[in-house]
Structure 1
């Protein structure tokens, strides 16, 4: 968005998945907004419990000049002190995820897997906020209509990889590919940056017995990710990705979670929360279908912002 006296600022963490939570909310508000990229200095590693810009690099700090916005949307622990610094200048704050100073937020968005107690300024959602919208899915239905011609059941496979490692073990990718190919009429798959070339090649080999479309990270052509969400009869999502699991909730397809083996407590809590809500099941239950309703959690967040008058004037 262009610079100027926008009423909404988005504090964009360098981590794409974290920034997407704040950006996704801003996009759904339908208001012009300014994206403020955050660059972290060494002090950002500390749990700064007060309103401050100390965690930012000097270059990033220079972007914080009046006129101040009406609403700031932020996500992640490190951006919380920055958002609260802006609140001292008269802004209102919508913050995603756990963070110090949560009592100072006008609205805090947390996942059910975070296990935080209810609070007047807190809304609990399944998964995390994201940028996939019903409108984007409607557009993708036409743009990727060719996927409809694949044999049913069409299985959408969203594959990630280790959060803090170089590439997924090819043996894990191959095993998952063989499992999915065993119950699919066809497979529509996409691999992420964390998957790695070797694991992507192993997945392609494992899927070779069935008709499939596999988009490798960085390959030519548009990633059919949204088309997969639209046209899949069944979704299989690797358990490492909070974003992909959350985005799959917008669809009506049964969701099966495929752990990759190194998920930590937070990811396991996410899996449990989705299963407890009847929104997902373990991969071992596939392909038995089950009914579920789409969950547009970002729409709930936007409704809460408007109901609380966070964009209105005093």
Structure 2
């Protein structure tokens, strides 16, 4: 099961993730959400031009805007700022550590708008904001499965409900590997990478049929958990089928697409007596070997071809 998110972030998250001085904090700072990775420098608006003004974005007062406001007659400045705040902007950021005009504080209080300040020059502040917004607003889905760090590789284990994913993951944790998410994996697309995390509510918990909920961090220690991990390999657990055509050589990799990023996939049929955890460990080691340029199936194939050629020459 895959569920897509409409990504957003709150002004509170913006404050917590960046080094801003909070000049004025709105009462509803944890409820004001932004949905676009864009910002606006309201130079034209401070001149009185509001046609096509995008008021739902972060508003940045840089050096040029600040010096323009400073040069205005106090009554005119008051009027221009009053109009800006009347458009219900979500947050105002002042760069270069510049003075906060008293009118800004007054209208921010009247319209419950957060004002932040940074000593960074505008260009650096903008770069930091872009990096934050790209991460916060990255395309995101929620996928049913388990995410583990196995030998440093982010392995997403998927399969039908009841197939034994959690029990297999528990075996892997006992073997020293690390849990990132159980049952529900939140996957974000950052450039050409997929980053998996757990929903905050279920973080570090697992459900084991017959036992119930367990706390992995408390049972096995902090060394057996991680907050997030790049997903590099997908393991698909399936029911054993005597008539299925399973991959027996591994010359050609199967692949699966998640958020338009292609990942290698290994299908492992479940059967009584098979040590699935060990098989997943071997699949992960094999993946790492392939990443380093060695493919055992191709090596064997080459050896067979060389043997055939040698037999032909010896006839």
TM-score (norm 2): 0.26
Query: Greater strand share, 1 or 2?
Result: 2
